[in-house]
Amino acid sequence: MAVIMDGKALSIKLKNALKNEVDELKNSGVNPCLAVIIVGNNPASKIYVNNKKKSCEELGIKSLEYALPEETTEEELLGIIDELNKNEEVDGILCQLPLPSHICEKNVINAISPEKDVDAFHPENVGHIMIGDYTFLPCTPAGVMEILKEYEIDVAGKNCVVVGRSNIVGKPMTMLLLKENATVTVCHSRTQDLASFTKQADVLVSAVGKPNLITADMVKENAVVIDVAINRLDSGKLCGDVDFENVKEKASFITPVPGGVGPMTIATLMKNTVTSAKKKVK
User: Would you call 96 a catalytic residue per the annotation?
Assistant: yes
Residue 97 or 153 having the CB closest to ligand BQF: 97
In the complex with ligand BQF, the residue whose CB is nearer, 164 or 182, is 164
CB of 38 to ligand BQF, least distance (A): 10
Q: Cβ 37 to ligand BQF, closest distance in Å? A: 12
Distances (CA, A) of 61 to 12, 33, 88, 183, 273: 15, 6, 15, 38, 8
Catalytic residue of the set 119, 202, 227, 241: 119
**Rg, the chain, Cα only:** 19
Check if 52 is active-site: yes
26 carries an active-site annotation:
no
Q: Give the separation between CA 19 and CA 142, rounded to whole angstroms.
A: 19
Name the residue with the smallest CB distance to ligand BQF: 262
Decide whether 232 or 279 has the Cβ nearer to ligand BQF: 232
Q: What's the burial of 106, exposed, middle or buried (CB within 10 Å: 0-12/13-18/19+)?
A: exposed
Q: Which is nearer to ligand BQF, 195 or 238 (CB)?
A: 238
Q: Shortest Cβ distance from residue 229 to ligand BQF (Å)? A: 8
Residues engaged in binding ligand BQF (CB under 6 A) = 48, 51, 97, 230, 257-259, 262-263, 265-266
Closer residue to ligand BQF, CB minimum distance, 84 or 257: 257
CA quadruple 20, 276, 145, 245: dihedral, nearest 10: 80
3-state helix, strand, coil in the chain (%, to 5): 45, 15, 40
- What is d(CA 2, CA 248) in angstroms, rounded to the nearest whole number? 5
**Phi and psi, residue 100, nearest 5°:** -55, 155
Task: Specify whether the CB–CB gap between 219 and 250 falls below 8 A.
Answer: yes
Closest approach, Cβ 154 to ligand BQF, in A, equals 25
Q: Which is the catalytic residue, given 52, 116, 250, 271?
A: 52
User: Alpha-carbon distance 61 to 235, whole Å?
Assistant: 35
In the set 6, 15, 91, 96, the catalytic residue is 96
- Which residue type sits at 10? L
Q: How far is the CB of 139 from ligand BQF (least distance, A)?
A: 8
Catalytic residue numbers, as ranges: 52, 96, 119
